[in-house]
Chains A and B, each alone.
Chain A
Amino acid sequence: MRRLETRWGILMALPAILGFLIFTIGPMAASAFFSLTDWQIGASPSYIGLDNYAAMVGDELFWKSLSTTTYYTLGAVPLVLIVSFAVAMLLNQKVRGLSIWRTIFYLPTLVPAIANVVLWIWIFNPDFGLLNSLLRQGGLPGSQWIYAESTAVPSLIIMSTWGFGNTMVIFLAGLQGVPRHLYEAVSIDGGGAWRRFWHVTLPMMTPTIFYNLVVGVVGTFQVFNQAYVMTEGGPNHATLFYVYYLFRKAFTESEMGYASALAWTLFMIIMVVTFLLFRNARRWVYYEMAGAR
């Protein structure tokens, strides 16, 4: 039985193991190697050591893309977290018609990325778009939105906030898991809504907040579609997101070696950031040890 089990076990895990080797480990190693070469597509790669990485230091657009992406992450992640947490709090108040409300707030996340982008190009249209039409009706000046250097990234942050539904549903599930007796304990001690929030809800929700934070940071660091379809990195490189820059280097300028170096640098940046987040998490994330399996 034991031998049979081992044989079946490996056999059944084989597609997954092979997939990991062929589509993850293999390409990872390959791109690590490519990052050390000068390689145009069609020609054969020639080894140049760390030159690509050295070239990045002097590459203004690399720094620009890094700061643009960081700006986007720093704006979009907290905003989405706050909005989705607030709405989840509202929905957790024994609301009537919960599933309808939940559907409403979840709907935007279903919109396919490209349809989403096309729709928002029209919403951002400075002449007849939704936003400027509303602003003008309210007697306020319109904005150039994605068409001006200073407002392009904030516009995309607003757009990303529209899709807060996923995060919200996860928060809502977390809120529903907060034990009732903790709220009662605070009430018995004479604490009001604010203290219940501050001393029970928030601490109990820190693991969920942390999860959404990490997922959000890793996700926003890899933003691509908006830059590719909406802005083409412009105006004046204002929305030159990292992965878009990488894509352009690889598939427009066919500098595969340099693009691979960009990819590995992104990987390392994400690793460092998540490492820092996890280290910092010890200070504020509450993990209930009792009952943990």
Chain B
Amino acid sequence: MTAVATPDRTRSRGVAPTRGLRRPRRYRRILLYVALLAGSVPTLLPFVWLVRSALMQDSQMFVSPPEWIPAPFQWSNFSEALTTQPFGRYFLNTLVIAVISVIGTVLTCSVAAFSFSRLRWRGRDVVFALLLSGVMLPYAVTLIPTFVMWQELGALDTIVPLTVPSWFAGAGGGVFNIFLLRQFFLTIPFELDEAAYIDGASPWRVFWTIVMPLSKPAIIVVTIFTFIGTWNDFLGPLLYLQDEENYTLSLGLASFQSMYLTQWGYLMAASAAVIAPIVALFFFLQRYFIEGVTLTGIKN
């Protein structure tokens, strides 16, 4: 796409628009940045409000007009909020669930995507279309029977209902990952597979030593989105986890909120602590994030 667009762009600049356009163009650029700034203020303000409140004493928070700089910086909000409930434990619980889910999703989805894109078998496309049709299904439809099933199996209050489905790629949003990976696999030259098969390789070998190493970008995208999805999930833990020992961060924060309804310093400190890891992750993997969102939008 860019290869086509770039020469065009330079040409249009070479032709040079009529001279009258020059001055309005500069005003337009100033206007553009003013608009962007105006847009980013309401976007960032809630974050500023979050951080400011997380670092303030209650007495300073309840003054009118509002103050913006904490004086003094109440760092103890963080230490106190995070120790009144075992947030460290919640963090570990969430991490365990997220990591198990990510591994399961990436493995089973890419294996399936390999089968749907690079192996020919009868009924393949029908099966794939059937799986894809499940994407539109509202989660509410499967919620109750799935809950009852786990209850019958005695799996309530364990991480089983929150992790096992991810090892069966098709469950929930998994189908979308298969779709994404399949699209990516289709761009890898098929000659590679054929050469390997002639050398006597098995499909598993082709998958593991040829296709997977060439698909890192797509795998990273699936990893990130699965990780964020499980990290931020609320309904799942709410349904399946009861003992406070097993709470995830989201669940812990919700219960913390219901207990410290008016302790805004604590609440904001706890929220900031829940938000921070995800934001940090984003800054490290920014490029993949945007590519991922773009991929999900465009391919449809």
Contacts and interface: CB of A to CB of B under 8 A. Distances in A.
A149 B114 CA distance: 52
A85 interface: no
Nearest to A8: B203
A128 B278 contact: no
A74 interface: no
B294 A170 contact: yes
Interface in A159-186: 162, 166, 169-170, 172-174, 176-177, 179-181, 183-184
B197 A1 contact: yes
A162 B46 contact: yes
B260 to A, nearest CB: 10
Interface string A198-232: 00000000001001100000100110110011000
Contact of A128 (B5, B61, B140, B234): B61
Interface in A218-255: 218, 221-222, 224-225, 228-229, 243, 246, 250-251
A285 interface: no
Contacts of B204: 8, 12
A241 B121 CA distance: 45
Interface string B143-158: 1111011000000000
Interface in B222-267: 228, 231-232, 234-235, 238-239, 249-251, 253-254, 257, 264, 267
A127 to B, nearest CB: 8
Interface centre among B32, B115, B267 (most CB of A within 10 A): B115
Given A118-B271, A170-B297, A105 B290 contact: no
A107 interface: yes
Contact of A8 (B115, B116, B293): B115
A286 B34 CA distance: 33
Interface of B, secondary structure class, is helix
Interface residues of B, number: 105
Contact of A263 (B115, B144, B170, B294): B144
Interface of B: 1, 4-5, 8-9, 12, 17, 29, 32-33, 35-36, 39-40, 42-47, 49-50, 53, 61-62, 64-66, 108-109, 111-112, 114-116, 119-122, 124, 127, 130-131, 134, 136-146, 148-149, 165, 167-172, 174-175, 178, 197, 202-204, 207, 228, 231-232, 234-235, 238-239, 249-251, 253-254, 257, 264, 267-268, 270-271, 274-275, 278-279, 282-283, 286, 289-290, 293-294, 296-298, 300
Given A130-B45, A133-B65, A263-B141, A270 B39 contact: no
Identify the 9 closest CB pairs spanning chains A and B, nearest first: A19-B168, A170-B297, A19-B170, A9-B121, A30-B145, A20-B170, A27-B142, A16-B112, A27-B145
A17 interface: yes
A124 B235 CA distance: 23
Contacts of B207: 12
A121 B271 CA distance: 12
9 contacts: A20-B134, A28-B145, A106-B289, A111-B278, A112-B250, A169-B293, A243-B138, A266-B138, A267-B137
Interface in A46-94: 87, 90-91, 93
A162 B165 CA distance: 31
Nearest to A3: B121
A115 interface: yes
Nearest to B39: A87
A10 interface: yes
A250 B169 CA distance: 27
A281 interface: no
A260 interface: yes
A31 interface: yes
Interface in A93-123: 93, 95, 99, 101-108, 110-115, 118-123
Nearest to A270: B138
Contacts of A10: 115, 121
A188 B289 CA distance: 38
Contact of A107 (B116, B170, B279): B279
Contact of A19 (B174, B275, B278, B283): B174
Contacts of A123: 46, 49
B145 A34 contact: yes
Contact of B137 (A24, A208, A211): A24
